[in-house]
Amino acid sequence: MAAALGIAATLALGQWQWSRAQQKLGLEAAIRARESEPSLDAGQLARADPGDLLHRRVQLRGQWVAQHTVFLDNRQMQGRPGFYVVTPLRLSGADAVVLVQRGWVPRNFVERERLPPVQTPPGEVTVGGRIAPPPAKLYEFAEAPGGPIRQNLDLPAFRAETGLPLMAVSVQQTGKASEGLLRDWPQPAGTAGKNLGYAFQWWALCALIFILYVWFQFIAPRRRRPRSA
């Protein structure tokens, strides 16, 4: 009974990890397909349905609304803690503002309230990137006060706070490090290999339980049985 339960459980767990891997592989394929489509400009971005934009590439022109730059705390890049820097971009050729995740900077852990140096060019700029979900929310003990350093950023609340006509999507700026910012963003849905590894581990354990059961219940007793004279 114990062997049967162990075999059933490990077989099911392996199947579950396998299905998770297939879901992620499908998502990765969908992301690659969207990334291969032509880049959207500001006008196309403003007119498109937000539900159809995720992971699409964009090439935008506009002006930074630098006074509303936010530094999101406790974010990591290349294994180092620091800030994600988020700045609204007022789009040229469209009556809209989009929130741009510009990159990552390290934090000064001696002077914790000191903002790291980030260059925000004045005038019209060109920003290349991809449509991405807003930055993930981290746990915080209480509602944080406003200010440049924050734990999380809620898009509707930030829209009301700033009075800016923020779009319902955000842009993750891509490209080489510049303006004091790194842009080595984690790739979405890039962990299918881990799920495949877990699946094979569960199935190997399932096979081991089956082999041990057969050995101790059938083969070993016959090997120990004394031969008749």
| pLDDT tens, position by position, 55-80 | 899 999 999 999 999 999 999 998 89
pLDDT at residue number 188:
64
Assess whether pLDDT exceeds 90 at residue 43: no
Question: What's the Cα-to-Cα distance from 118 to each of 21, 66, 84, 135, 166, rounded to whole Å?
Answer: 39, 11, 11, 19, 22
Whole-number Å distance between alpha carbons of 157 and 155: 5
197 versus 45: which is more confidently predicted?
Answer: 197
Predicted TM-score of the model (pTM) = 0.74
Assess whether pLDDT exceeds 70 at residue 228: no
pLDDT at residue number 229:
45
pLDDT in tens, 176-187: 999 999 999 887
By the 10 Å C-beta count (0-12 exposed, 13-18 middle, 19+ buried), 74 is classed as: middle
